[in-house]
A and B are shown apart, each in its own frame.
Chain A
Amino acid sequence: MNTQGSLDVTDAVRALSTAARALRLYPAANPFRQQALSRAEAALEHFLTIESTLTLTVGRSGLVWRGQPVAGVPGAEEMASDLRGLSVAEVTFLAGTTADDITNLFQAISRDSAEIHRMGGLSSVLASSGVTSIRVTDLQVSALNTSILSPAENQTYEDYLRSLASDATRLTSWLNTVTQVDLGLMEDVIADIVKLLDPAERAGFVDNLASAFVTQEQESKDAVLKLALVEGNAMHGAMRDAFKRMETSQLSEAIVGGSMSANMLRLSHALTVLPLDDAKPQVVALAHDAMAARGRPEQEIRFLDRMLERRVAPTAEEPLWVTDTLTAAAIGAARVPDQDIERARAVVVTCRETVRTATVQVYFSLIDSEEDFAAFRTSVDSLAAMVPQLIERGDLALAANALAELDDRRAHMVRPWPALSEPISEAIARAAGERAMTALMAAVIEDEAQVPAARRIIAVVGEPAIAPLIESALSVGGKGLEVAEMIAGVRIVDYLHNPTLAAPTARLGPLVSRLARHGDARSQKTIDTLLMRRNVEVRRAVITALGNAATDMAWPRLVAALRDASPEIAIVAAHALGQGAPPGASQALIARLAEIDVDGAEYALGREIITSLARIPGPEVTEALQKLATRRALIKRGHFADICELAGQVLAARAGGVR
C-alpha cells in the first residue's frame, strides 16, 4: 500500500468509513455528519479523477482493491462485514457519486438484511433510490457447489473423506467452496482425513492438497494459510507436507500475493509460523524479491528481516530503553529536576517583560532593511503606535529610546524615497498624542524619577506633544501643570493662554496662577480679559488665583478688585492683600475702608479689611485702626460696636496683648 494509488484508495475508503460512522451516530442536521459526507464525496471525486472507477471487493477479512487488502482503515472491516451480510461481492463507485448517493448506500446497508433481500438485494434498493453512480455486484452463492461439503446420500463419512483426499479435482472444488463457507469445517475435515488415511494414502492426499492449493484463488489460499498458521492443528501439519510438493516460487507467491503481506508484521509472522521447513530461506528470499518488485521500499524489507529475526529469538526482547543507548541517553537528558524547571519558568516569565524592548529592536531592523516605501511607512507607524503602550506600562525609557531612534532616522536616514522625514515626523507626533501624554503625566506623578525619560520624550517630539501634555495636566488638576512644567519647561506658559480663556471655572485656578507668576504682557492681557467677564464665579476664581500667585502682576489687580461690584470678590481680594502685604496694600485697604459703609451694608468687607490690615505692619495701619476703635456716636447704628471692638482687638494684638 505504498503507491500513490494505494494511498488515494486508502483515503477514499477512510472517508467512506468515517461517513458511515457519522451516519450511524448523528442525526441528519448534525454538521459532523454533513462534513463527513462532504469529505467522502470529495475523496471519491479526487480518486475518480485519477481512476475511472473505484471497485472495492468484499473480501473475507475486509475490503480489497486490485487484489490488495485496504489496510489500516478503522471501520473498513465492519463495512465489509455489513456488505457481506447483504451478499454483496463488489461495490463500484463511478464519477459523479454524490453525498446523497453515499447516504443512500450506507442507509441501505444499515437496514435489516432480510428486508434488503426481500427487496431484491442491495442493487435493487439503490436503484429504487435513484442511485446510479454506485453499482453493486451480488455474490453468486449459487455458483458454489455446497453439496460437496457433506457426504452424499448413502455415503459414509469415511468414504466421503477418502473421495476428497484421493481426487485432486474434487479436493480443489471442495477447498474452493469450504474456504468461502466454513473454515471450521475445513479444519475438521482435513483433521479427519489425516487421521483416517494410512501413510501411503496420505502421500497422495498431500499431492492433491498441494495441487488444489496452488490452483485456488488468492482469497482461498489466504484462508488455507490462515489455518495453517495455527501450530498444532491439522491444516498446519497437512500443509507442512503439501508445501514440500510445491515450487518455492508458488509458495512465495501464495504468501506474498495475498493478505499475509498486508504488512511486514503479518508477513513476518506468516513466514515464521507457516511450516516451510527447509524451503523457508528460499521463500524468504523470493518474498524479498516480490516485495521489491511491488515497490515496497528497502526499509520495509529490512523491517521484515528484523521481524523475522525477532520472532525466532530465543529470549524475550528487552525494552527499547535498555537495548538502545540513544534512547537511554535521551531519557536521562529529559529528566530535568523540578527546581530547575521552576527557575526556568521564572526566567521565561521575567523575560516576557523584555518582549517590548526586543520588539522595538525588531521594528528598527524592519525599518532599516525595508526596501518598499509602503512597508516602511507601516513599520514606522506600527512602532509609533507602540509608544503609548510602552508609556502606559511605565516603560518611559524604552519609549524615549524608540522615539529618539526614530528621530535619528528622520535626520540621517538615506533612502531613495522623497519626503522621507515627513512620515516619520507624522508618526512621532501620533506617538505622543493624548493617550501617550495622559500616561506620561500619570507615570511622572506616580514616580518623579521618570522625569528625565519624560523630558527626553518631549524633547524628541517637540511642539506636537505640548498641547496634549497640558490637556492631560489640566485633567489631573492640582499638580498637573507643575509636573508638565517639570517635563516640558517654562515654554508651557505659551500654550496656556487659549486653554485659560477656554477653561471652565473649576480649572482656572492653576492656569491663572501660572500666568500671574509668569507676568508678561500676554499673561496680563489674558488675566485682564478674564477679569472683565461678567461671570462673578470666573472673576472670583481669577482673584483667588492671583492671591495665591502673590506676584507683582497680581497686586494691582487685587487692589482694583477691592472695588469689584461683587462684595465676595472684594473680600477675597482684601484677604489676599492682607496675606501678601505687598507695598501699598495698607494704603489701598485703608482707603477702601474709608469709602465703604462698614457699619451697614458693607460690614462683611469692612470686617475682612480690618482683619487683613491686622497682618500688615506700619503706623498708618495703627492710626487707621485707632480711629476706628475710638469712634464716638450718639446713635450707634448697625455694626458700629462690632467694628469698634474688632479694631480694638486688632490694636491690642498688634501691641502684644489682648483687650
Chain B
Amino acid sequence: MSGSRVVSKVAAARRAIQLYPAGHPSYQEAIDALVSAVEEATQDGALVVNVHHGRLYTDGQQRVDVEAGSVARGSQLLADDAGGSARVAEAFEQHMIESATFQPGFDATDAVNLLDLLASGVDSSFDLAVETERRALNHVVLGVYSGGEEEEEERELRDRTRASDRAMYNHTRAALVTLSERLIAGEQPGLGDIDEGVDAFLNRWAEDPDAVMRLATIDGIGELESFHSMRVMVFSLALGHRLGLPEKQLRSLAHCALLHDIGKTAGAKGAGRGGQDHDHPVVGAQILERVAPSDPAPMLVAYEHHMYAGEAGYPQREQGYVTNPFSRMVMIADRFDTLLSTVHDGARLTPHQAVVVILREARVLLDPFLVRVFAGALTVFPVGTVVRLTDHSVGVVSGLGPDEVSPVVRIAFNPQGVAIDDFSEVQTAEGELKVVEAIPAELLGVQVSELL
C-alpha cells in the first residue's frame, strides 16, 4: 500500500500548497508527510507510479522501464478513492506525465519542486522536459507521455476512414434517390452510378466487412426509402458472403437488394400503377424490365421479394411456384430490416432480438436454411447492437469476434453510466467482459450510427 500512501500524500500536499503560504506549519507538515511516505516506499528501490487512461497504477518496489509506454504486467491499480488518486492522475495527464519514478533520496526540495510543477499552468507551449530540468528534480524521474501523437494520428485515420465510408454510402444512396426521382419524372435513366456504388461496397467489403456492416446502422427518414434499401443491400451481402457466392453473383445480389423496393419509391409515375404497397413488387418489376434489362435478376427479385413461403405474401401466384434463391435472400434481409424498425414493448427491436425473431419466423415465412445462414453471418450480436457487458459498461457491437458470442464492442458508457468520448474497443473474446444484455438504443438516447 506504499504506492497508495505516496499518492495520497501528493494529493494532500497539492492541497496544502494551494491553501497555505510557504512556511505555514500545515504547508511544511504536508511536505514532510510526502517525503516520509516516499522514503518508506523506496526503502527497497524506486517506486513507479504510472497513469493510464485516467487511472493510476503502481508497481511497488519493482523497477519498471519507464520507456515501455504501457502499464507493466502485474501492476496494481490504485483505487479511484485512494486519497485523491483521481486528482493526481488528472494532474499528471494535464502535465503530460506518463509515469513518476520516485527514487531513494527524495527530499523536501524534490517534493516542493514536483508540487510546483504540478501546480503550474499548462498551455500549448508547455514542455515537460524543460519544466523538469528547470526545477531540478533530483530524485523523481518524470516520464513524458508519448502516446498522444500516435493516438491523435490513429484518431485522424479512424475519422478519415469513417468519413470515406460514409461518403461511399452517401454516394450510393444519392444514386438510388436520383434514379427514383428520374423514374418518377418519366425519364429512362441508366444504372451507371448504382453500378459504381455497388462495386465500391463490394471492394470495401473485401477490405473490412465490419466497416460495411457498420454502415447498415445509418438511418434516416424520407428520401424514398433509400436508407432501408441500403441496409437491405448490406444485409444481403452479408448473407451472400457467408454462402461464399462468387463476386459476379454478389454484384447481382447487391443490385437486387438495392433495387428491390424501386416499385415503392419510383412507382407513382414510373409505371402504370400507383404506388400501393401490395402493388410495388409488380410495379418494381415493370420498372426494372426497362431500366436493368441486361440482368433479369433485379426484376425477378423485385417481383418476388414479398412471396413468402406457402401462399403467404404477394403477388398471387400459381400453386407450387418456387421463388428464386436471390429473392429468398433479399426477402430475409428485407424482413430483418423491417424487424429492426418494429416497435415491441415500447421500443424498437434490437438487432439481437431481430435475429432471434427471424429465426423463429423462418419456420413459417422464410427459407429456414437461408435464415440460419443469415443468422450465422450476423451472429446473435450483429454489428450495431447496443450491449451491456459484465461490468455494466455499455457499448455498441462494432465488429464480429472470433466466435459468435464474442463481438468487438465500442464502449459508449463506462460502468457508472457516464458517456465516453474517447475511442475504446473491447475484444470480448479476450478478457473477462461478456455480453449480458442487448439494449434498445433509444433507452439510452443514443444514435448507434454516430457511435460507430
> Which single residue of chain B is at the shortest CB-CB distance from A338?
B244
Tell me whether A265 and B413 are in contact (CB under 8 A): yes
A348 to B246, CA, bound (A): 11
Interface centre among A10, A303, A329 (most CB of B within 10 A): A303
Chain B contacts with A in 293-311, Cβ cutoff 8 A: 293, 296-297, 299-300, 303-304
Tell me whether A263 and B417 are in contact (CB under 8 A): yes
Shortest Cβ distance from residue A63 to the other chain B in the assembled complex, whole angstroms: 12
Query: What chain A residues lie within 8 Å of B405 (beta carbons)?
Result: 319, 321, 331
Tell me whether A320 and B289 are in contact (CB under 8 A): no
Shortest Cβ distance from residue A462 to the other chain B in the assembled complex, whole angstroms: 25
With A263-B444, A321-B405, A375-B272 known to touch, is A112 a contact of B435 (CB < 8 Å)? Answer: no
Tell me whether B18 and A185 are in contact (CB under 8 A): yes
The total of interchain contacts (Cβ-Cβ below 8 angstroms) comes to 251
Chain B interface extent, by class: 35 or more
Shortest Cβ distance from residue A508 to the other chain B in the assembled complex, whole angstroms: 39
Tell me whether A73 and B450 are in contact (CB under 8 A): yes
Tell me whether A72 and B412 are in contact (CB under 8 A): yes
Chain B contacts with A in 349-396, Cβ cutoff 8 A: 352, 355-356, 359, 369-370, 372-373, 375-376, 379-380, 388, 390, 392, 394
A506 at the interface (CB under 8 A from B): no
Shortest Cβ distance from residue A31 to the other chain B in the assembled complex, whole angstroms: 8
Query: What chain B residues lie within 8 Å of A6 (beta carbons)?
Result: 445
Tell me whether B373 and A344 are in contact (CB under 8 A): yes
Tell me whether A342 and B436 are in contact (CB under 8 A): no
B440 at the interface (CB under 8 A from A): yes
Task: Give the interface segment out of B32-40, B68-76, B159-167, B194-202.
Answer: B159-167
A52 at the interface (CB under 8 A from B): no
A358 to B302, CA, bound (A): 12
A129 at the interface (CB under 8 A from B): no
B326 at the interface (CB under 8 A from A): yes
Tell me whether A188 and B84 are in contact (CB under 8 A): yes
With A320-B436, A354-B324 known to touch, is A266 a contact of B299 (CB < 8 Å)? Answer: no
A371 at the interface (CB under 8 A from B): yes
Query: What chain B residues lie within 8 Å of A74 (beta carbons)?
Result: 421, 450-451
A1 to B444, CA, bound (A): 9
B443 at the interface (CB under 8 A from A): yes
A340 to B156, CA, bound (A): 43
Interface centre among A6, A316, A351, A359 (most CB of B within 10 A): A359
Tell me whether B359 and A330 are in contact (CB under 8 A): yes
A35 to B169, CA, bound (A): 14
Within 8 Å by CB of B289, from A14, A329, A358, A379, lies: A379
B439 at the interface (CB under 8 A from A): yes
B45 at the interface (CB under 8 A from A): no
B80 at the interface (CB under 8 A from A): yes
Tell me whether B296 and A78 are in contact (CB under 8 A): no
**Which secondary structure characterizes the binding site on chain A?**
helix
Within 8 Å by CB of B442, from A2, A14, A114, lies: A2
Query: What chain B residues lie within 8 Å of A321 (beta carbons)?
Result: 380, 405, 435
Tell me whether B375 and A334 are in contact (CB under 8 A): yes
Tell me whether A345 and B243 are in contact (CB under 8 A): yes
Over the window 229-244 of chain A, the binary record of Cβ atoms lying under 8 Å from chain B Cβ atoms (1 yes, 0 no) is 1111100000000000
Over the window 71-105 of chain B, the binary record of Cβ atoms lying under 8 Å from chain A Cβ atoms (1 yes, 0 no) is 00000000111001011000000000000000000
With A266-B416, A316-B390, A386-B296 known to touch, is A342 a contact of B244 (CB < 8 Å)? Answer: yes
Task: Give the interface segment out of A137-145, A211-219, A294-302, A629-637.
Answer: A294-302
Within 8 Å by CB of B286, from A72, A342, A366, lies: A366
A21 at the interface (CB under 8 A from B): yes
Within 8 Å by CB of A333, from B26, B372, B390, lies: B372
Query: What chain B residues lie within 8 Å of A317 (beta carbons)?
Result: 390, 436
> Which single residue of chain B is at the shortest CB-CB distance from A62?
B419
Shortest Cβ distance from residue B340 to the other chain A in the assembled complex, whole angstroms: 16
Interface centre among B80, B290, B417 (most CB of A within 10 A): B417
Query: What chain B residues lie within 8 Å of A233 (beta carbons)?
Result: 81
Within 8 Å by CB of A10, from B300, B304, B352, B445, lies: B445
Over the window 37-81 of chain A, the binary record of Cβ atoms lying under 8 Å from chain B Cβ atoms (1 yes, 0 no) is 000000000000000000000000110000000011111111000
Within 8 Å by CB of A25, from B81, B156, B345, lies: B156
Excluding A345-B244, A352-B326, A370-B272, 17 further A-B contacts by CB distance (< 8 Å) are A71-B419, A72-B412, A73-B450, A76-B421, A77-B419, A230-B86, A265-B444, A319-B390, A329-B356, A330-B355, A330-B359, A342-B244, A355-B296, A355-B300, A358-B304, A362-B304, A366-B303
* Cross-chain pairs A/B with CB under 8 angstroms, 30 sampled: A2-B445, A25-B156, A61-B418, A71-B446, A72-B446, A73-B450, A78-B421, A114-B123, A184-B11, A187-B84, A188-B15, A262-B417, A262-B445, A299-B443, A319-B405, A319-B435, A319-B436, A323-B436, A330-B375, A333-B359, A333-B372, A334-B372, A334-B375, A334-B376, A348-B245, A351-B325, A352-B297, A352-B326, A366-B282, A369-B315
